[in-house]
Amino acid sequence: MTTPRNFPDQLAEKLDGLPELALDCNFSWSHRADAIWQELDADLWQQTRNPWLVLQTTSSKRLEELADNETFCKNLKSIVSDYRQSLSEERWFQHELQATAKFKQVAYFSMEFGLSEALPIYSGGLGLLAGDHLKASNDLRLPLIGVGLLYQNGYFRQAIDQDGNQIALYPSSDTGDLPVCPVRNEEGEWLRIQLYTPSRLWVRVWQAQIGSIKLYLLDTNDPINHPVERCITTELYGGGPEHRLTQEILLGIGGWRVLRALGIKPDVCHLNEGHAALLVLERARDFMEEFHLDFETALAVTRAGNLFTTHTPVEAGFDRFSPELITRYLGHYAQSLNISLETLINLGRNPYDTANEPSFNMAYLAIHGSAAINGVSRLHGEVSRRIFSPLFPGWPLQEVPVGHITNGVHVPTWDSMYADELWTNLCGKSRWYCEHENLAEKFDRVSDEQIWTLRAKNRKRLVDYVRSEYARELNTQSMIPEAERQDRVLRLFDPNVMTIGFARRFATYKRPNLLLTDPDRLAAILTNPARPVQLVISGKAHPADQPGQALIKAWYQFMLRPEIRERAIYLSDYDMITAEYLVQGVDLWINTPRRPWEACGTSGMKTLVNGGLNLSELDGWWAEAYTPEVGWALNGLEDELADPSQAEILYQHLENTIIPHFYDHDPAGIPRCWVNFIRASMSTLTPYFSANRMVREYTEHYYLPLAANYNKRIADNVKLGKAIQLWQKRIKELWAKIHVENPVAEQIENTYRFSLMLYLGDLEAKDVCVELFSEPAEQKSFELIPMQMERAIPGAVNGYLYSAVIAANRPISDYTPRIRPNHPDCNIPLETGLIQWVKMPR
């Protein structure tokens, strides 16, 4: 473990464990440890939430003072003792699954990770989701590691000029200030690997710690590299296609090589979006070398242990690269796979429509190299099945192999200290370390007074933060007298006024200005003297997104109106610290994406544990969560022309229902109806929309079965894997020979009888499955009914009569026979999408 330079040996005993805590990203959000960092430097802690930076910049004299402070040392010793003990605790995975689990390690690859503001290597929801995934994996003691990139400048920082224009800034991070350590090999040298790109790129490896979870971060800012290549990991999502491709080569190919250099062989690799898709090629290449296999067989084996999670709600959103760019950067790599460049490029295309898919699609590569695909909400699963259906021609939309696991948030990261205290008193400290049992019932013991007091404390904390940010902004305006500045700050917001929050990436499809459709009406809502409302807006637009920046400017200019200056504010540079105050303090969180373009959305989930309510479009997670007892919704229309009517619904909800409920206080000063909404939302939604539930579902639905199938394929010197590859090759070569004769569909009293004569050519009956298919009816699932082989056809080679008798409950024309490949250990249609439908005489 790294020791700060200002930490002399004589302090090591008295302040034992302090560097250990500072380097663990868990302690950038742990409420209990807040007092430690505040004692070291309260201002710096408040601004950065970076324990490692706070520790390193604290003077030796101050550390010596604290080492002699009995209260401080006692608190530190207690936290360190509990921390070390917690790392050895067995939790959900050990209690429930370890005895029967067939995997030892999961590797989670992501282009960004939002762990804390101390490590700014994220841009938004994708990274925050990845960070929460690691944190929940630690809470559950899942054997998981993360792989990502260490960016010197991270994502851009935002400033707003006096006209409301966004300014993108790129302050550089000193890696010495970040809570990361160099990864060293057995000889104590910094672990460096070389990628055989055209320039032989050198890559350094860092490690971040999240409790029991390690996150390995790759960095090209090595003096041995050319200056251009040192900048590969300068910015997140910066530069053009060439820069993006080099980053994805680094993440996918370099990430796997780092794991192998560390002696790590994960059973399951989880690709968080298509950015890491090149991993599937490098994992196969590594397997080729180890077992002396050809590429096709190695891919057939290793894909069994790969999971691809897509967060993209539109087909145009996937990363694409020109064949020329792929040739320049991966032409030599195809040689190491012993395949042609054309074969490699086709892995990133739709094999059924290469004429209209000239580019290399990272999502397609991920699908071709994975054994499971999932969206991040129920609705997004449906959307993704439509997006990827061209890869599975002939297959019904319902059978396109894309599942879903709805995202969740790491609740301890986002709860306020007051909410944490309330939940701890009710449910104990270990409530997020196991399955949620009876949390809703336990929450019923909380009184209305306790809930309303929690909301008041959270709102007050947000108001204080808003005022401090406004004061910082005013302090740059020297023309305003100090007394006037102080007066303006005090007049801004009121801790007893209903507070609405809206914060996210500013992009047109998220419709961040739907609430601004009628500025005069919104102004009237905010300034109502009987029932005033205050509004906090925050968010960034990508530096290249001019329409998104125009939306920010419109909000900024609206807030210059004199009558609402004390009721609304735009907080610049939306980051995790701002998000924390917002989701903890707002009474109502608004989300207005254009359905179904919000894959999931997690910001509204973060308000749940803190007693905030949601008013959202019926998209993403809210399409699953919404009931009239827990919040409010728009009408879920997908037509762009519906925006004016949805804005009207938004205003009416606020004017006629939401705001009146908030201010409908009884004689004790408590809005009972509003509190009932809070109680229902906190108790029923918080446990489900948590990363705890999400990671358990990933483990049970994907990690366990994928690991079992992967290990099954590699057993006995890859016996099953080789057999599956040979079977797939044979099926592909011989499928065209299959033909059907004499298909019959007839009604016999109250039954239907279907029969057909199937000629398989050189295939065998065990290679196929013959079944009846019918479309869904009356909201029910589609039907699949096996057709049984009655007998062999005399004189035919592999010719058989198949039949099925079913009840005549639907029109006979609803049913269609089909033939598809069949193998007990092959994932169909993901691994072979062949299918033949039988045209029935009508």
Query: In whole angstroms, what is the distance from residue 703 CA to residue 699 CA?
Result: 5
175-229 pLDDT tens trace: 889 999 999 988 889 999 999 777 789 999 999 999 999 999 999 999 999 999 9
pLDDT in the model for residue 11:
81
The yes-or-no verdict on residue 2 having pLDDT over 80 is: no
59-64 own/partner pairs: CB under 8 Å, 24+ apart: 59/6, 60/6, 60/7, 60/8, 63/6, 63/7, 63/11, 63/15, 64/11
716-735 pLDDT tens trace: 999 999 999 999 999 999 99
Kindly report whether the peptide bond that precedes residue 596 is cis, defined as omega within 30 degrees of 0.
Answer: yes
Query: In whole angstroms, what is the distance from residue 577 CA to residue 803 CA?
Result: 65
pLDDT in the model for residue 592:
95
Query: In whole angstroms, what is the distance from residue 285 CA to residue 295 CA?
Result: 7
Range of lowest pLDDT (19-23, 140-144, 312-316): 312-316
Confidence of residue 439 (pLDDT cuts 50, 70, 90): confident
Bridge partners (DSSP) of residue 538 are 503, 571
Bridge partners (DSSP) of residue 214 are 145, 209
Q: Percent of the chain, pLDDT > 70?
A: 98
pLDDT in the model for residue 779:
60
Neighbour-count burial for 528-539, b at 16+ CB within 10 Å, e otherwise: eeeebbbbbbbb
Report the helix count and the strand count for the chain, using DSSP H and E.
32, 28
- Per the prediction, the chain carries an average pLDDT of 93
Other C-beta atoms closer than 10 Å to the C-beta of 18 total 27
Query: In whole angstroms, what is the distance from residue 175 CA to residue 233 CA?
Result: 12
Which among 229, 689, 149 has a CA at the least distance from the CA of 414? 689
Query: In whole angstroms, what is the distance from residue 557 CA to residue 575 CA?
Result: 22
Burial tier of 825 (Cβ tally within 10 Å: 0-12, 13-18, 19+): middle
The phi, psi pair for 303, rounded to 5°, reads -60, -25
Bridge partners (DSSP) of residue 177 are none
The yes-or-no verdict on residue 55 having pLDDT over 80 is: yes
Which among 360, 359, 353, 404 has a CA at the least distance from the CA of 383? 404
The yes-or-no verdict on residue 322 having pLDDT over 90 is: yes
Range of lowest pLDDT (378-382, 432-436, 584-588): 432-436
Length of the chain counted residue by residue: 842
Task: Please give the helix or strand (H or E) that residue 213 lies within, else none.
Answer: strand 213-219
Rg (CA), the chain: 29
Confidence of residue 9 (pLDDT cuts 50, 70, 90): confident
Query: In whole angstroms, what is the distance from residue 290 CA to residue 285 CA?
Result: 9
Name residues whose C-beta falls within 8 Å of residue 710's C-beta, 6 or more positions apart in sequence: 267, 268, 301, 302, 304, 305, 371
Structure tokens at 357: 């898919």
Confidence of residue 321 (pLDDT cuts 50, 70, 90): very high
654-705 pLDDT tens trace: 999 999 999 999 999 999 999 999 999 999 999 999 999 999 999 999 999 9
Confidence of residue 780 (pLDDT cuts 50, 70, 90): low
Q: What domains, with CATH codes, occur in the chain?
A: 9-87 (no CATH), 92-407+699-707 (3.40.50.2000), 415-689 (3.40.50.2000), 738-837 (2.60.40)
- What mean pLDDT is predicted for residues 265-278? 97
Name residues whose C-beta falls within 8 Å of residue 631's C-beta, 6 or more positions apart in sequence: 613, 614, 615, 616, 622, 625, 677, 681
Strands 268-272 and 106-110: parallel
Kindly report whether the peptide bond that precedes residue 644 is cis, defined as omega within 30 degrees of 0.
Answer: no
The phi, psi pair for 505, rounded to 5°, reads -65, 135
Query: In whole angstroms, what is the distance from residue 277 CA to residue 302 CA?
Result: 13
- Give alpha helix (H) positions in 198-253: 227-230, 241-249
CA 27 to chain centre: 22
Q: What is the dihedral of CA 705, 707, 712, 718, to 10 degrees?
A: 140
458-500 pLDDT tens trace: 999 999 999 999 888 887 766 778 788 788 889 999 999 999 9
pLDDT in the model for residue 239:
86
Which among 449, 472, 461 has a CA at the least distance from the CA of 499? 461
Bridge partners (DSSP) of residue 157 are 169
